[in-house]
Amino acid sequence: MTTILAFLFVLGVLVFVHELGHFVAARRIGVRVLTFSLGFGPKLISTKRGDTEYAISAIPLGGYVKMAGESVDDPRSGAPDEFLSKTKWQRFQVLIMGPVMNIVLAVVVMAIVLAQGAEVPAFHDAPPVIGSVKAGSPAQRAGLRHGDLVLTVDETPVATWDKFDIEIGTKPNRDIDLTFLRDGTTQSTTLHSSAEGKYEVGDIGVFPNAVPIVASLIKGDIAEKAGLKPGDLLLAVNGEPMTQPTQLTEAISKSPGKQTDILVKRNGEEMHITVVPEKRGDRGMIGIYFGQQTKSFKPGPLEAIQLSIQRNVEFGGLIFKTLGGLFVGTTSPRQLMGPVAIAQLSGESAAAGWIALFTLMASISLNLGLLNLMPIPVLDGGHILIMALEGIARRDFSAQVKEKMLLAGFVLILLLMVTVIYNDLTRISWIERLMPWRN
C-alpha cells in the first residue's frame, strides 16, 4: 500500500505541475480551456467551473489539458479564444510551459532537500585516487592498482569520485579508455566494463580510499577492552592498509584466536592496538561497528538554490548523454525505467523518509521536463518542432502531413514504452522466472 500511495503522490504532483503550466499559459493568452484532467480514460470525478471541466480520470499515468480548437481535426469557428487562432509565438509559450514547470519543480524540490543538510562520504568531492581494486575485476586485469589517480574516462576529465562514478556508471559492457597518474607519470589503458545490478550500471571494480572509522562499540567486548574508541580511524590490520570497511570485516573474520595488530589514528596521532578476535559462529569478531568517514553538509537557502541549479544542470547533461548513448549503442536500454520501476522506487524512498522521496521526485520531474522537450511528435517538443518547420516553410502543413508525423512519433513512444515496461517486468524475480529466454 505504501508503494502505491507513494507512486500516486509522486506521479500526481508531477503531472499536476506539468499540466498546470499548460493551463496557466493558455489562460494567460486567452485560450479557452475545455478540460483539465489528471489521468486518462474514463472520468472518475469531475466538476465544471466556467468553460473548464476539472477531472480525475481512471488511468493515473499522465494527464492532459484540452483546449478549444487545439488541432486541425477539432471543430473550429475561428474565434480568437481557440488555440490555433493564436500566433506561433503564443502557442509556443503554451507548449513550453509544461516542461518548464517540471524543470522549475525539480530545482525547487532539490533546493528544499539540500537545505536540510546531510552527512556525505568524505571522499565524495575528492580526486579519484584508487584505494583498492576488486580481485578479478576489469580494473585488476588492466593493471590498475592502489594509489593510481584517474584523470580521464574516454577523454572526459574526472576531477572527483562523483564525476568518475557517473562516467563509469553510464558505460556498462563496453571498452573504456582511461588515463591515470602513477608515480608522477601519466599512463593510459583500455578495459571492458561490467554491468552491475538490475539497472546494469557500469563498473570496473575500483574503490576510493575510504578508511573505516569506529562508529560504536559493544560495551565490555574485546574492542572496548583493548582501548578502541568511537571516532578512531582504522588504518591497517597486521600491516595491510584498510581502504574499505569490507576489508576490515574480512581481516578480523579470518583471524579468530590470533593476535591482531590494528593501526589506529586518533586525534591526529597513530597508535597500535592489539586484539584477539573471538570465534563466534564461523568467523572472528571483536564487538565493533564501523562505517566510513563523512562530512557535514548544511547550505543556507541561497546556496541551496545555487547548488540545486548546478546539480540539475549536471543531471540534465547526464540525461541527454544517456539518451544519446541509446541511439549510438553505448548505453544499455536496461538503464531505462518505466512506471513499475518508478512505483518500486517510490515505495522504497517513502520507506526511507520524505527526503529520499522528494529527492526521487526532483529527479523524475527533471527527466519528465527534459524528455517532453525532445523533438518527437506527440510530445511537447514534437509539437514545437512542427511549428518551427512550418515557420521555416512559411506555411502550415496539411492535416494529413501532421497526422503522419504524429503517427510516427506515437509508434516511437510506443516502442519506448514497451521497452521500459519489459525492463520493469524482468526486474521482478518471479516474473523473470516465467521468461525462459532470461534463464
Half-sphere exposure (Cβ direction) of 425: Cα atoms closer than 13 Å: 12
Specify the pairing of strand 212-217 against strand 288-292. Answer: antiparallel
Q: Would you tell me how many other CB atoms lie within 10 Å of the CB of residue 175?
A: 11
What the block records as the C-alpha cell of 253 is: 573474520
Rg over CA atoms, the chain: 27
CB 319 within 8 A of CB 370: yes
Task: Give the SS3 label for residue 191.
Answer: strand
- Locus of grid cell 525547487: 108
DSSP assigned state of 146: T
Can you tell me which residue has the cell 540534465? 316
Instruction: Check 19, 70, 167, 200 and give the catalytic one.
Output: 19
CA pseudo-torsion sign 213, 217, 223, 227: positive
Q: Which three cell numbers stand for residue 99?
A: 516542461
Told to judge if 403 belongs to the known catalytic residues of this protein, a careful annotator would answer no
In three state form, how does the secondary structure of 48-91 look? EECCEEEEEEEEEEEEEEEECCCCCCCCCCCCCCCHHHCCHHHH
Active-site residues, by number, are 19
